[in-house]
Amino acid sequence: MSFRFLISLTILMGCLYSTSNAQSMGYGKSDTIKKVMPPQVYGKPKKSKKADSVAVVKRMQELDQLKHTDSTLFAKPIKNEQVPAEVFDQKETKPSDNKVVIVTRSEDGTSHEQDVIILPNSTDQKEDDIMKSSLANDRSNKLSTAPDDMFAASAPAPVGSWSLLRCVNYAREHNLQVKNAELNERLARLQFQQTRSSKLPSLNADASLGESYGRSIDPTSNQFVTKGFVYNSIGLNSQVLLFGWFQKKIQSEQNRLDILSAQEANQQLKDDISLNVATGFLRVLMAREQVKIAEAQLVLDQEQYEQTIRFAQAGKIPELNVSQMQSQLANDSSTYIGSKSEEQLALLQLMALMNFDFNQSFDIQAPDINAMEIADAYSFMLPEAIYNHAIQHQHQMKYNHLKLASAKKALRVARSVQYPQLALFGGLGTNYSSNLKSVTGQTYTGDATIGYVSVGAQQYPINVPQYSYQTAVTPLADQYNQNLRANAGVSLSIPILNGRSAYSSIERAKISILSQEISYQQDQLKLKQDIYTAHQQVIAARQKYAAAQKAEEAAKRALDFAKKRYAIGMINTFEYTSVQNTYNQASASALSSKYDLIFKIKVLDYYMGNQIKL
């Protein structure tokens, strides 16, 4: 009897010592010290259940309850700018209050407080249903339909659910990389138009105006003058290539091939965008499936937690099981929060890939997918048949073929430069000078003797009349008309020595052809390797998904048996949670295998040129 009394006294002293230490350190009766000490030392179950896991509340209620506050974090849409500095402070009240006060500071400096109920307390049966109601509210607050959703905060109206095909078509039209590829196509068209227009005759006009000083040549009279004058000249010149060894024609053909290759590159980029959008779409679907699994698991954990409390109160199981269930509930709550975050991040990445406005409401439509039936339809296709189809219809292969043809045309253009060029030219021009004057009038001033004529012995003077003339500068129009000139001729340009520029151009064109052929062969080899790999991955993913489904079914049966055994006390909480975690892992593996199989099927659709849709 004395030995048992000493043991009981030792346990009681340990309880008092640990409780006094917790209170002296500033913790309440329901402090998280319960996590590191066995719950048996607390004595009665009511005191044990007051020590709720604050960590679960901090992760679980932060998403569900903060949506109903006046916080501007969820009231404003996400933009490419820094979020306003807001501080969210949490302070613990007394354990008997069983709540968390959330303080929100807005931009104007005012503070708003709101009480948020945390995990259920066994002292009040109404609080036991808080976890279920929180999950039910979260189901109704979906990402695309909630009026206080961060994507729909500033959107005028929802745009409905988007199917994969609709998302793909939108991204093919609005993605920034696609827009950049369209600009490259426009540049190729401009180059083609320029080359085609170069076949037409050139026509250029020139004009000059100046003033000359000192001894110079008058452009109108071609005589030396010493007096300063103003001069002006205008002219037109034209030239056309008569024969250039078909250089312009070959350049036009090359530019036309460049246009077609730019179009194929644009289409290939759109196909790549389609596959990326399908990947993002499937990621959102998988994230939502994981949210549903985590949500269902939380509901199940809550039920088991309540049942464990009742068993502990009845004395059927030790209070250690209650702590173990609380730990399991906290872990699954963390998984649920992480799944919700992954869902939102996946949706944001999909919107960014589509170049979709974040201020508008956006949600995707989950189709009914039977992955095994889809995989069966592809299992009978041979990879060689897929490759033969892809080599003829893949835009990347068409692009390489067109670029190779363009490189060969460039070689012909480079060779034509080393041959003579025959051209026809012509010109028309006139000029003006201020030295050119016209007589405007004359006045008789008398006669002047310029000599004598002897007739016999008599000499007679020779007189000529003298006049004074009035002159003025010839008008501009008259000079243009009087000085009009024209020329025409044929020119022959023969390249002899040009610093080996023609030779270098030819060699560069040859190297470009070899480089393009190597690139073409590399892409063909890579395409064949990728198709064979993708086909094998579909087969492996189908087998993996079938095995994961069987594992999930077996884990579900094991969990059902574990529930029944746990309800009658045949297994402890640790064994039950181990079975439960095994089922969770099996469900997650089956879900991951399902969407991995669907993605690999879409990869085969990509290589076959099929429309990306579900």
Q: What average pLDDT does the segment 13-23 reach?
A: 42
> pLDDT for 129-142, tens place per residue?
433 443 344 433 33
Q: Which CATH superfamily is domain 355-416+502-608 in?
A: Outer membrane efflux proteins (OEP) (1.20.1600.10)
Q: What pLDDT sits at residue 64? A: 53
Asked if the model's pLDDT at residue 159 lies above 60, the reply is no
Q: Can you tell me the distance from the alpha carbon of 279 to that of 285, in angstroms, rounded to the nearest whole number? A: 10
Asked if the model's pLDDT at residue 257 lies above 90, the reply is yes
Reduced to 3 states, what is the DSSP secondary structure of residue 214? coil
Q: Which phi and psi angles does 57 have, rounded to 5°?
A: -65, -45
| Of 50-59, 276-285, 340-349, 459-468, the least confident | 50-59
Maximum C-alpha span of the chain: 194
Asked if the model's pLDDT at residue 31 lies above 70, the reply is no
Q: What pLDDT sits at residue 160? A: 62
Q: What pLDDT sits at residue 428? A: 94
Among 119, 134, 126, residue whose Cα is nearest residue 55: 119
Q: What pLDDT sits at residue 208? A: 92
pLDDT band for position 315 (cuts 50, 70, 90)? confident
Q: Would you give the distance in Å from CA 20 to the centre of its chain?
A: 59
Q: What pLDDT sits at residue 466? A: 86
Q: What average pLDDT does the segment 121-134 reach?
A: 39
Residue type, 487: N
Asked if the model's pLDDT at residue 479 lies above 70, the reply is yes
Mean pLDDT of the chain: 75
Query: Which contacts of 579-586 are long-range, i.e. CB under 8 A and separated by 24 or more positions?
Result: 579/555, 580/297, 580/300, 580/328, 582/555, 582/558, 583/552, 583/555, 583/556, 583/558, 583/559, 584/293, 584/297, 584/332, 584/335, 585/555, 586/548, 586/551, 586/552, 586/554, 586/555, 586/556
Q: What pLDDT sits at residue 190? A: 93
Q: What pLDDT sits at residue 411? A: 93
Among 385, 364, 230, 234, residue whose Cα is nearest residue 288: 364
Question: Cβ neighbours of residue 273 under 8 Å, at least 6 residues apart?
Answer: 168, 171, 172, 175, 177, 178, 353
**Which of 94-98, 222-226, 240-244 has the largest mean confidence?**
240-244
Q: What pLDDT sits at residue 496? A: 87
Q: Determine the angle formed by the axes of helices 164-174 and 247-314, rounding to 10 degrees.
A: 140
CB 179 within 8 A of CB 269: no
Q: What pLDDT sits at residue 325? A: 83
Question: Cβ neighbours of residue 484 under 8 Å, at least 6 residues apart?
Answer: 428, 429, 430
pLDDT band for position 439 (cuts 50, 70, 90)? confident
**In the numeric block, which tokens belong to residue 354?**
């589509």
- Eight-state DSSP code of residue 118: -
What is the CB-side half-sphere exposure of residue 462 using CA atoms within 13 A? 6
Asked if the model's pLDDT at residue 27 lies above 60, the reply is no
pLDDT band for position 19 (cuts 50, 70, 90)? very low
Handedness of CA 15, 20, 23, 27 (dihedral sign): negative
Q: What pLDDT sits at residue 50? A: 40
Q: What pLDDT sits at residue 135? A: 38
**In the numeric block, which tokens belong to residue 93?**
């009240």
Handedness of CA 592, 595, 601, 606 (dihedral sign): negative
Q: Can you tell me the distance from the alpha carbon of 409 to that of 252, in angstroms, rounded to the nearest whole number? A: 10
Asked if the model's pLDDT at residue 441 lies above 60, the reply is yes
Asked if the model's pLDDT at residue 108 lies above 70, the reply is no
| CA distance to 182, 500, 522, per residue, from 187 (Å) | 9, 30, 27
**Which of 23-37, 73-87, 230-244 has the largest mean confidence?**
230-244
Asked if the model's pLDDT at residue 320 lies above 70, the reply is yes
CB 396 within 8 A of CB 523: yes
Q: What pLDDT sits at residue 507? A: 93
> pLDDT for 588-600, tens place per residue?
888 888 888 888 8
Q: Can you tell me the distance from the alpha carbon of 245 to that of 29, in angstroms, rounded to the nearest whole number? A: 99
Reduced to 3 states, what is the DSSP secondary structure of residue 436? coil
CB 418 within 8 A of CB 502: yes
Q: Would you give the distance in Å from CA 166 to the centre of its chain?
A: 17
Q: What pLDDT sits at residue 206? A: 93
Asked if the model's pLDDT at residue 118 lies above 80, the reply is no
Asked if the model's pLDDT at residue 425 lies above 90, the reply is yes
Rounded percentage of the chain residues whose pLDDT exceeds 90: 21
Asked if the model's pLDDT at residue 464 lies above 50, the reply is yes
**Measured in Å, how far apart are the chain's first and last C-alpha atoms?**
76
Query: What residues does each domain of the chain span?
Result: 355-416+502-608
Reduced to 3 states, what is the DSSP secondary structure of residue 472? strand
Q: What pLDDT sits at residue 95? A: 37
Q: What average pLDDT does the segment 257-278 reach?
A: 91
pTM summary value: 0.60
Q: Which phi and psi angles does 595 have, rounded to 5°?
A: -75, -25
| Of 56-65, 186-195, 430-439, the least confident | 56-65
Q: What pLDDT sits at residue 324? A: 83
**In the numeric block, which tokens belong to residue 400?**
């390489």
Q: What angle do CA 81, 102, 116 make, to 5 degrees?
A: 125
Rounded percentage of the chain residues whose pLDDT exceeds 70: 72
Asked if the model's pLDDT at residue 224 lies above 70, the reply is yes
CB 329 within 8 A of CB 301: yes
Q: What average pLDDT does the segment 290-316 reach?
A: 83
Enclosing H/E stretch for 354: helix 320-354
> pLDDT for 342-391, tens place per residue?
999 999 999 998 889 888 888 888 877 777 766 666 666 788 888 998 88
Q: Can you tell me the distance from the alpha carbon of 324 to that of 577, in angstroms, rounded to the nearest whole number? A: 8
pLDDT band for position 226 (cuts 50, 70, 90)? confident
**Hunting for tokens 């091939």 — which residue is that?**
257
Q: What pLDDT sits at residue 405? A: 94
Asked if the model's pLDDT at residue 17 lies above 90, the reply is no
Handedness of CA 478, 479, 481, 482 (dihedral sign): positive
| CA distance to 114, 261, 401, 502, per residue, from 249 (Å) | 78, 19, 21, 19
Q: Can you tell me the distance from the alpha carbon of 458 to that of 67, in angstroms, rounded to the nearest whole number? A: 139
More confident residue, 513 or 315: 513
